[in-house]
Structure 1
Amino acid sequence: MTNIVQPEVQRYIRGLLPPRDEIFYEMEQEAKEKIIPIVEPEVGHLLYWLAFTKKSTKVLEIGTAIGYSTLWIARAVLPLGGEITTLEINAPRAEAAGRYFRKAGVADKIKLVLGDAREILFELTGPYDFIFLDAAKGKYVEFLDKCIDLLQPGGILVAEDVFMRGMVISGEIDKRRNKTAVARLRSYLEEVMEHKSIETIIVPVGDGIAISTKKDITNRCENR
């Protein structure tokens, strides 16, 4: 299973998207040429829409790559005077992201941190009103509780690629080394659906998106 969304549906949705800035097309081309994983344009638009609707002003991104998703989120956040902190472990990709941030004129408004999220994440204090999780898929479960702690009540946690090219659904693993990641992604999805501190919906767009909202326990009328 490689196509979560039927190609004709994907093409139709992309055809409806508003024209995007030229820098996005440039980044898409670089990602294609260098085989760098970035979110699909429709996922980028969803991230923008979520941040725009939430009126997010303090964002944490775990996994920058070349900054494609960062700039989508920035379109909603920066006009409100917000700020984005984004973490990337790969130095060449972080360098490329910094270059694109400068080209877009937003480098001074985005804090790009080079390093391992397994260390940096647990040093952060937050709170954030929007967290985008797009790191190593096998680490999602490990990061979950910390992400929830960092979220303010009503904040949104978005996890990308939760179907992992369909392997999470089909169980057909393309490489032995992906077996653990698939098992951990399944655990992540089970946990976010059952977790008492969040409400979650799984959306079959791109390669699967899990969107969780942190409950405000002070205003909650009943316990789950």
Structure 2
Amino acid sequence: MDLTLDNISAYIRNFVHHPHPILAELETDAATRGVPIVGPWEAQLLALLARSVRAQRILELGTATGYSAIWLASAVAEWDGHVTTVDQDPGRVREAQRNIDVAGLSNRIRIVQSTALPALQTLSSPFDLIFNDILSYLESVDEAQQLLNACLQHLRPGGLLLCDNALRGGRVLDAATDPNASATKAFTETLLQHPHVDASLIAIRDGLLICRKHDA
């Protein structure tokens, strides 16, 4: 039996059900242009987790093309859930807005053009789910700690904090001379040992950190 990664990926893809046709188009576009998106099976897991806590208010850090925001907003549309997504790149913001409009979700997804920490200082909370997709942009352990604290502060008791790229392509195993890997490692290991969350690091794609904040 040929259990290559490509064959397994192709098998899993057979069971991905896109809530809107534009998502498959965005996957092809991301592969062509090298745009970082979570991909279909991780996106489907994010959507399942959002539904599992019946998320009404979702915060995403790192919009890219709007791919994961569309997945999340579609998952919680049944009970009028909404997504606020934050990205500092004006080009990405414009592109994401076009894709969100095509998906018919402009009434459910709001884009904030800003870096993460300033945005978190102004957004009202709490959120039921926070998807942190900016670990790959952290520049220091101090920044990682500030982001972690801000995320937990804005998360309701019982809410989920989901973080992509927690393994950084394996660079967290030898992070001493790599500022981003060091920051990501500090963020991830702090949450895995945090007294106020239950957390698990899943080796899906580049590592998905799943955390549930303890009930008050």
Out of 148-157 and 137-146, give the one that drifted further.
137-146
Residues 102-151 of structure 1: per-residue CA shift (max 9 Å, x gap): 10111122111111112111222301000000014325433111111111
Q: Does 1:168 align with 2:172?
A: yes
| Whole-Å separation in 2 of the counterparts to 1:14 and 1:205 | 14
Out of 194-203 and 30-39, give the one that drifted further.
30-39
Q: Does 1:156 align with 2:160?
A: yes
Which residue in the other structure is 1:220 paired with?
none
For the residue of structure 1 that corresponds to 2:107, the secondary structure is helix
Which residue in the other structure is 2:43 paired with?
44
Higher relative contact order (CA 8 A, sep 6+): 1
| Whole-Å separation in 2 of the counterparts to 1:161 and 1:97 | 21
Which residue in the other structure is 1:111 paired with?
110
Q: Does 1:81 align with 2:85?
A: no
| Whole-Å separation in 2 of the counterparts to 1:92 and 1:49 | 29
| Whole-Å separation in 1 of the counterparts to 2:155 and 2:175 | 34
Residues 86 and 145 of structure 1: is their aligned pair in 2 closer, same or farther, counting only changes over 3 Å?
A: same
Out of 132-141 and 101-110, give the one that drifted further.
132-141
8 Å contact kept, 1:55–1:76: no
Residues 159 and 34 of structure 1: is their aligned pair in 2 closer, same or farther, counting only changes over 3 Å?
A: same
| Whole-Å separation in 2 of the counterparts to 1:163 and 1:123 | 30
Out of 42-51 and 139-148, give the one that drifted further.
139-148
Q: Does 1:133 align with 2:132?
A: yes
For the residue of structure 1 that corresponds to 2:168, the secondary structure is coil
Shift of 1:10: 2.9
- Which 5+ residue runs of structure 2 have no aligned equivalent? none
Shift of 1:20: 5.2
Residues 173-217 of structure 1: per-residue CA shift (max 9 Å, x gap): 9xx7xx111111111121001111111011111210000000013
Which of 117, 120, 142 is the matching residue for 2:146? 142
Residues 23-51 of structure 1: per-residue CA shift (max 9 Å, x gap): 01111122222221111111100011001
Which residue in the other structure is 1:221 paired with?
none
Which residue in the other structure is 1:213 paired with?
212
| Whole-Å separation in 2 of the counterparts to 1:158 and 1:84 | 14
Shift of 1:19: 5.1
Tell me the TM-score normalised to structure 1 length. 0.86
Query: Identity over aligned residues, as a percent?
Result: 29
- Which 5+ residue runs of structure 1 have no aligned equivalent? 218-224
Give the total of aligned pairs: 208
Tell me the TM-score normalised to structure 2 length. 0.89
